[in-house]
Structure 1
Amino acid sequence: MQAERVELQIGDRVLFIESGALAKQAAGSVVVGLEETIILAAVSAADEGREGIDFLPLTVDYRDRTSAAGRIPGGFFKREARPSDRETLISRLVDRSIRPMFANGYSNETQVIINPLSFDFENQTDVLALTGASACIMLSHLPFFTPLSGVRVGRVNGEFVCNPTIPQMEESNLNLLLCGSEESLVMVEGGASEILEDDLIEAMEFGHDWIKKICRIQTDLVAKIGKTKAEAPEIAELAEVDEIRSKVEGSLKEAVTTAGKFARSAAIKKVRNDAISELMGDTDDDQKKGAYKEAFGAVQKSFIREMILNEGSRVDGRSLTEVREITIAVDALPRTHGSCLFTRGETQALVTTTLGTGQDELTLDNLEGRSTRSFYLHYNFPAFCVGEVKRMMGPGRREIGHGSLAERAMDPMMPDAEKFPYTIRVVSEILESNGSSSMATVCGASLSLMDAGAPIKNAVAG
């Protein structure tokens, strides 16, 4: 089959999407390029859905190839090994963008693989990965019906720029990644040097205008060579929902608004078990019991949603603007350079700051070559912080992602090297978690840095 290609002019550069020449045995594959930076995205899926699961078994793997930049990998074996933090972050970026757009009830094992083929040291690969993931799935038979596109918005000399080059980003005070459809945004991620809220909204509107244009060329390509889509799975209405609702109407609200994470969980579990026991009677039917449990989950979700939208109340009874009690202990540890124990309700982070020399800088080796960082933040989430048992391993995707989020919040506030010539490592140990542990990390990091004597430009909270 001859390759089909669509193009869009972005300033003085050309964005293109092409399919039909490479990876033809995948369910869908595309090559996406901006000038001489080019990525390949391909999707494959199992023929049958997995029974008895209530989630989408989707895996997204973005992996750099140093050959794309004309480089040979370092290390003894001279080949790409475990994914770097950068690769993990781009994989997560793509995953959370495309995951909600699959049809409800779709449960086939699905894998999206994205590799750079060429890198020109000017145009970045992450935004191309977002667009490529959507385009390859849109061309496939999978039940994914709405094209998504990704753009980066920077601001150089007061003007917004779509997909700024790497040199332009060094001058930009905004680094905003957006992914969306023609109708709306589905993902926003970014960092900035204290820009105004109105400017941020304007940047999002600017980026969405470009997203619409890229989505349209995807639609054009699908019209030319897209496969016939599989029908969306039928989701049967649970007949048990009404039965469950009638049994828990009075008791569920009291259980849901119980203060305390474990007390609330126990109260909700009791309401569920009592209702199911009453409905089951002496019947011993595991399938029916499972249906009642699923129905209870649907009723609980609907109830909490209505409580938030109609009553302005959260699950623990707080209003939408009411913050949990906050306690702060600075200089909490005697021998660390800086420390803070930050507690918000049942979320607790012990954050430490350590100062080092230039020899302690973090060395990065990616497509752009080797570089060093004098500030970095690590986030640890042990199983005991949520009362669970789990095998201890290296940092997972979530820990890498949350650490990057907090690091991104603190980075613009770090002192200039001339003023404070130290390497700074911040570590957040999550000791308890009941939501917003990444933002507790930001608050604790800000305080521990000040405790260590780092002259940060401003306090940061989240």
Structure 2
Amino acid sequence: MSFIVEKEIAGKTLKIETGKMARLAAGSVTVQYGETIVLATVATKELDSNPGFLPLLVEYKEKSASVGKIPGGFFKREGRPTTKEILTMRLVDRSIRPLFHKTMCSEIQVIALVLSADQENDPDIIAMIAATSAIAVAGLPFNGPVGSVRVGRIDGQFILNPTLEQLKESDINLVVSGTYDAINMVEAGANEVDESVMTQAILWAHEQIRVIIGMQKELMQKCNVSFPEEQEPEVNEEETNYYNILQKKYAANLEKSVQIHAKQERSLALKELLSQIKLDLVGEEESDENKEKEKLVKNAYQKLTKDIVRRLITQGKRVDGRGLKDIRNITSEVGLIPRTHGSALFTRGETQSLVNVTLGTSSDKQVIDGLHPEYHKRFILHYNFPPFCVGEVGFMRGPGRREIGHGALAERALEAVIPDNERFPYTIRVVSDILESNGSSSMASVCGGTLSMMDAGVPIKKPVGGIAMGLVKEDDNFYILSDILGLEDHLGDMDFKVAGTQRGITALQMDIKITGIDRQILEQALSQAREGRIHILREMMKALSRPRKEISKYAPRVVRMEIDPEKIALVIGPGGKNIRSIQETTGAKVDVENDGVITVYCIKKEGALKAKEMIETLTEDLKVGKIYEGKVTSIKDFGAFVEIAPGLEGLVHVSELENSFVQNVNDSVKVGDKISVKVLAIDDQNRVKLSKRAVDGPSSESEEETNEEDVPQKSTHSNDSEGTKRKHRNHKNHKKNYNRHKRNRHHKR
């Protein structure tokens, strides 16, 4: 039996249905918005014991059939997850993970499949609603329901669930998830939006979320399902005893160890203390009983460490000695990698990012082919997190979900300040390699990305800085931390990353470990983040205050020009002959757009200018009387054909080769000769008549002949000598062959 709830939201019907598909799953729903439909399922598998973390796995798949496409590639089926799919998985995961009960002792898998995509409504929001609805009808131990919406802003007005076209005009792209009472996940990109506007947008989104939560509650009532009450975890008396022992005997040493400022020294001290505790309380004997004791001791030790760190924060102290608003020491260096087009080393405390920039041609743009209409990206940011950056050993395979998510956040933060293609016609790739990590490496990538692009000569609109904010909430009191450490992130309640310029926000990402935050926490976190961001920007500007005026000598130079679109074929030539000739001759890379805009890239400026000159020659209208440089391509009895531009030939008739009589064309020119010719005429069939002798000028011999001819001569029959007759006969034959050749070439065309 199926159950359906429907409601009009932002002018479209949102429909949630369960009981029709995937009925063997613990919970399944289909959610339809417009003509976009997503099926979400949830399945669980009980575990024998609590693993100490939530074993939640979220999968999201965009089916090509949903837009009537057959996948590309040899196998013609969907393969590994795309970047878009991974980012959507992260959105779903982050919106539901903090809300499962702590007593949950099962593996949980959420799968969302896009069944239909109308290419107007992004399936990601629909997948988030479907996932939480599936959890709701499954009746899992969950502090929900949870609703999700996207918010845009056009002309100062907030828009709920904007279409893809509306997002192009919007200065905000905000995704918010939350329960009825609080916000628990935020992801945003913005065009330098003020903190107050962003706060209003998030709170406005939360009001709309309550409508969706109401629909989920209605569906649960129809299914006669409810969420179980959250139970406090069972108290392990033995573990509690160990906790009390640690608190009495080792708390002082533990508090002293966690306040060691350097990360590695602190980690070593804590490791040695834990080893001593195990030795004292468990002993060295290996047995099943001692292994269980060791596990309990370790749990008690971790709980005491967390309590001490959080207590210190409530007293205004942090483990590295800073106050709650203090920013770690910042150093920046630019131009340190000689052969890259731009580079920067950004260090904040013990977090360090080495960022390089590569400038490419328009053909280097990334093609994005998914459910949405295909498009190209000319700004790309990649984030790498090698294991050595945290002093560990690990495999270096392809990027994981975390690396892709952090890279997307940093890319979104910088995208708002990238110059448009008209001003800076390059494809820009930024790569951030994290060399040290102790909190907020994605924001270090933003800062390093700004400096490296300025070092590369990219005329960004404004510098962008980023900061990660933390939270410790105890009862009704809360404490906001600026520029959090890895330990504060691990033991705290929130990781709130904020990036932007001095003017406003360009990106947000908020993840929490509690049920949600209210308006007061949100406003204070954004206000404190702005203070920290301005400080970071000032420190960054000490290394480089504005983009360099010149790009790297190793980066391609760019020359742009515009031609009549109808002449694009002349530039390309038959089978690409002309454009290949230009590129081979000059060493340049030529990109031709359908609107007639041509971009020439070349490492050497001279090569770019030469390519431009050749294109102008190809596309300009030939002018009668103008002199061109050409190359002899073929010899005929009646003259020579000369290529004055790639693919453009004209004929120099034998009578136009020299000022004197030419018996054999090969006596005057040979194939491959480079000569200067003048355009004499262009007929109605665009055949070009050229002259070499008009460029060479009259010879001394011809001048003497002319002077002799100026003297009146007595007319005699000797003028009709055999030699004269032969000249006339040869000229007549040349002309006859020439006309025949012109007809043949015309028919071939």
Q: TM-score, normalised by structure 2?
A: 0.60
Counterpart secondary structure, 1:155: strand
Contact 1:140 1:226 in 2 (8 A): no
Aligned counterparts, 1:212-361, within 5 A: 212-227=210-225, 235-237=233-235, 238-239=239-240, 240-280=242-282, 285-308=290-313, 310-361=314-365
Greater Cα shift, 5-14 or 278-287: 278-287
Contact 1:337 1:452 in 2 (8 A): yes
Change in Cα spacing, 1:262 to 1:85, as seen in structure 2 (3 Å) is same
Q: Say yes or no: does 1:423 pair with 2:421.
A: no
Structure 1: how far apart are the matches of 2:319 and 2:224? 44
Contact 1:59 1:112 in 2 (8 A): yes
1:277 positional shift: 3.1
Counterpart secondary structure, 2:88: helix
Q: Say yes or no: does 1:394 pair with 2:389.
A: no
Structure 1: how far apart are the matches of 2:188 and 2:48? 35
Give the AA of the match of 1:200: M
Provide, for residues 385-414 of structure 1, a one-character-per-residue CA deviation record: whole Å limited to 9, x for no partner.
111111121111111011001000000100
Give the AA of the match of 1:197: E
Structure 2 counterpart of 1:142, from 140, 144, 150: 140
Contact 2:177 2:186 in 1 (8 A): yes
Aligned counterparts, 1:181-196, within 5 A: 181-196=179-194
Provide, for residues 108-131 of structure 1, a one-character-per-residue CA deviation record: whole Å limited to 9, x for no partner.
111100011111111111111111
Provide, for residues 117-175 of structure 1, a one-character-per-residue CA deviation record: whole Å limited to 9, x for no partner.
11111111111111111110111142114100110010012100111111111110000
Structure 2: how far apart are the matches of 1:344 and 1:107? 39
1:107 positional shift: 2.8
Structure 1: how far apart are the matches of 2:147 and 2:64? 25
Q: What is aligned with 1:433?
A: 437
Change in Cα spacing, 1:70 to 1:307, as seen in structure 2 (3 Å) is same
Structure 1: how far apart are the matches of 2:67 and 2:285? 65
Q: Say yes or no: does 1:405 pair with 2:404.
A: no
Higher relative contact order (CA 8 A, sep 6+): 1
Q: What is aligned with 2:82?
A: 84
Q: What is aligned with 2:14?
A: 15
Structure 2: how far apart are the matches of 1:58 and 1:191? 27
Q: What is aligned with 2:376?
A: 372
Give the AA of the match of 2:15: F
Structure 2: how far apart are the matches of 1:191 and 1:228? 36
Counterpart secondary structure, 1:272: helix
Structure 2 residue runs without a partner (length 5+): 467-749
Q: Say yes or no: does 1:99 pair with 2:130.
A: no
Give the AA of the match of 2:122: Q
Contact 2:180 2:210 in 1 (8 A): yes
Structure 2: how far apart are the matches of 1:10 and 1:51? 43
Counterpart secondary structure, 1:193: strand
Greater Cα shift, 242-251 or 110-119: 242-251
Q: TM-score, normalised by structure 1?
A: 0.96
Counterpart secondary structure, 1:154: strand
Structure 1: how far apart are the matches of 2:180 and 2:50? 34
Q: What is aligned with 2:113?
A: 115
1:281 positional shift: 5.9
Q: Say yes or no: does 1:28 pair with 2:27.
A: yes
1:34 positional shift: 1.1
Provide, for residues 191-214 of structure 1, a one-character-per-residue CA deviation record: whole Å limited to 9, x for no partner.
100011110010011100010110
1:275 positional shift: 3.3
Provide, for residues 79-130 of structure 1, a one-character-per-residue CA deviation record: whole Å limited to 9, x for no partner.
1100000000100111111111111031311110001111111111111111
What number of residue pairs does the alignment pair up?
459
1:268 positional shift: 1.7
Contact 2:119 2:373 in 1 (8 A): no
Provide, for residues 248-281 of structure 1, a one-character-per-residue CA deviation record: whole Å limited to 9, x for no partner.
2212221111011111111222333333433346
Structure 1: how far apart are the matches of 2:250 and 2:84? 47
1:313 positional shift: 2.0
1:338 positional shift: 0.3
Structure 1: how far apart are the matches of 2:183 and 2:229? 25
Greater Cα shift, 61-70 or 141-150: 141-150
Structure 2 counterpart of 1:457, from 455, 461, 468: 461
Change in Cα spacing, 1:195 to 1:92, as seen in structure 2 (3 Å) is same
Structure 2: how far apart are the matches of 1:355 and 1:405? 21
Greater Cα shift, 295-304 or 450-459: 295-304
Structure 1: how far apart are the matches of 2:272 and 2:192? 47
Q: What is aligned with 1:178?
A: 176
Contact 1:43 1:137 in 2 (8 A): yes
Provide, for residues 332-364 of structure 1, a one-character-per-residue CA deviation record: whole Å limited to 9, x for no partner.
100110000111111111100000001100111
Q: What is aligned with 2:130?
A: 132
Counterpart secondary structure, 2:374: strand
% identical aligned pairs: 47
Q: What is aligned with 2:521?
A: none
1:11 positional shift: 2.8
Structure 2: how far apart are the matches of 1:280 and 1:423? 60
Structure 1 residue runs without a partner (length 5+): none
Q: What is aligned with 1:72?
A: 70
Give the AA of the match of 2:315: E
Aligned counterparts, 1:46-57, within 5 A: 46=45, 48-51=46-49, 53-57=51-55
Provide, for residues 321-341 of structure 1, a one-character-per-residue CA deviation record: whole Å limited to 9, x for no partner.
111111111001001100001
1:283 positional shift: 7.5
Provide, for residues 228-260 of structure 1, a one-character-per-residue CA deviation record: whole Å limited to 9, x for no partner.
656757622232222221122212221111011
Q: What is aligned with 2:43?
A: 44
Give the AA of the match of 1:335: R
Greater Cα shift, 385-394 or 187-196: 385-394
Structure 1: how far apart are the matches of 2:454 and 2:374? 30
Provide, for residues 423-452 of structure 1, a one-character-per-residue CA deviation record: whole Å limited to 9, x for no partner.
000000111111111011000000000000
Counterpart secondary structure, 1:242: helix
Q: What is the CA RMSD across the aligned residues, in angstroms? A: 1.6
Change in Cα spacing, 1:226 to 1:318, as seen in structure 2 (3 Å) is farther
Give the AA of the match of 2:190: A
